[in-house]
Chain A
Amino acid sequence: MADLTGWLDDYFFGTLVVLQVFFVALGLSVVFGLIGAAARLSQSRIANGIAKVYIVVFRGTPELLILLIFYYGIAVTLTNVARYFEPTAGFVNFPPFWAGATAIGLIVGAYMTETFRGAFQGVDPGQVEAAQALGMSRFQVFVYVRMPQMWRLALPNFGNHSLSVMKDTALISIIGVQEIMFVAEMATTVTRKPFTMYITVALIYLLITTFITISIAYLEKYANRHLRGSR
C-alpha cells in the first residue's frame, strides 16, 4: 500500500478522465442509437439498409480495431488534407480523447439501436390505438404514451450498455489518453510494483461499475413503480 501513496492524485485525475470519456461516449451512443432506431423503423429502404450495415459492422468488429481505425485513420486523413494545401505541413494529430469517445459512442450506439427499436415495438399497439382514439396527434402519442412506456422497457438493456461504455473506456489508454491505465503504467516503471498498480485500476473500475449498476437498479424501480400492487 505504501507504494501507492505518491500516486493517489494521479489516479484521481486519471479517474476524472475516465468519467469524462464515459459521459461523452454514453451521450453519443444514445444519439447514435436513437438515429439508428429511427432509421430501422422508417419506411425508407435506404435508411433501413444503412442502419443494418451500421449494426453489423460495429457489432462484429473488435472494439480495439475500430478505435485504431478511428484514431490513425483520422490522423492520416487530416495530414493528407493539410499537405494538399501546404505540402510541407507536418503530421496532424487528432485529439485521442475525441477519437476514443466517438469510437466507443458508435460501437455502443449500434447496440443501443436494437434496444431502442425493441422498446419502441414492445409497447402494446392497443395503447397507441387508445391514445389515437382520444384524438392525440402522432407527436403526442409518441411523447406521452409511447416514450414513458418505452424507457421502462429499454432500461435493463440500457444499463448493460452503459456498463459496456464504462469498460470500453479502458481501451483508450492504447491510443495515448492519459487515464488510469496510463497512470498504472507510469507508476509501474518507477515503483516496479505492477500488480499493485493494475489491481488499483481494477478496483476503481469495480467501484464505478457498482455505482452504475446500483443507479440503474434504482431507476428501474422508479420506472416500474406503477406496476407494483396497490396496497
Chain B
Amino acid sequence: MSEPVIMMKNVSKRFGSFTALSNINLTVNRGERLVVCGPSGSGKSTMIRCINRLEEHDAGTIIVNGHELTGNDRRIDAVRREVGMVFQSFNLFPHLTVLKNLMLAPRLVRGTDKASAEAAAMALLERVRIPEQAHKYPAQLSGGQQQRVAIARALCMNPKVMLFDEPTSALDPEMISEVLDVMVDLAREGMTMICVTHEMGFARSVADKIMFMDSGEIVESAPPDEFFGAPKSERTKMFLKQILAH
C-alpha cells in the first residue's frame, strides 16, 4: 500500500534571483490524495509543474514512478504518459472537437486504434457527464464543461497520478461544483492525486494530507483534521483565517 509514486528530495528551483522552491521534500504514495494550498507566488504551481518537468528543477532529486527526472527527452515522455495534468486555463486544443481532443494522445502516443480510442473517449465523457458535447469544439462549451473535458483528456492516457493546477480558479462560481464533483468521483475510485486548490471543502472531504506552502517552502503538512483543527504554524493560521473568512 505504501508504494511511493512521487518522491522529491531537497528540490530547489530559482527564476533568476527569485527562489520559487527551496528544499522541497515530499512523498506521495499510491492511492494518496494530497491537496496543496498557499498564497499566490508560494511555489505550489511550480512544484507540480516540476513533477512532469514542465519546469526543470535546479537541484535535488525527483523520482516519478521509479524514474528519476533528468534531461533525457525520451525518458520524460515516458514519465509524462503516466502523469495526467489539468491546467487552470484548460488548454484544450481549440482546433479539435472534444472527442478528438481526447483521442489525440492515445492514438499518437499509445498507438491505440481509432475504434478503441473513440470508445474509451466516449466512456470517459460519460464519466465526466458530458457525452452529448463530444462533437463540439472547445470554444462552444462553458468553462466548467471545458475543464471536465480537460480532465477526461488527461484520464484517456490511463495515468497513474493526476496533477491538478488550480483547476477551478478560472471558473465562474456556479461552475466550480460540477468540476469538483468529477474530482471527488476520481478520488473515490482510488486515483493518486495532487491538487493545488483553495477549495477547502473539497480538501476536507477527500484529502489524505493537506500541505501549506509559502515562499517556496513547505510550511506545514498534515491530515485534514489536524490541519484545520490544530495548525502548528502561525503562517498557516493566518492563511486559513483569510481563506475561510468568506
Consider the complex of A and B and state whether they touch directly, i.e. have CB atoms less than 8 Å apart.
Answer: no
Which residues of A are at the interface with B, using a C-beta cutoff of 8 A?
Answer: none
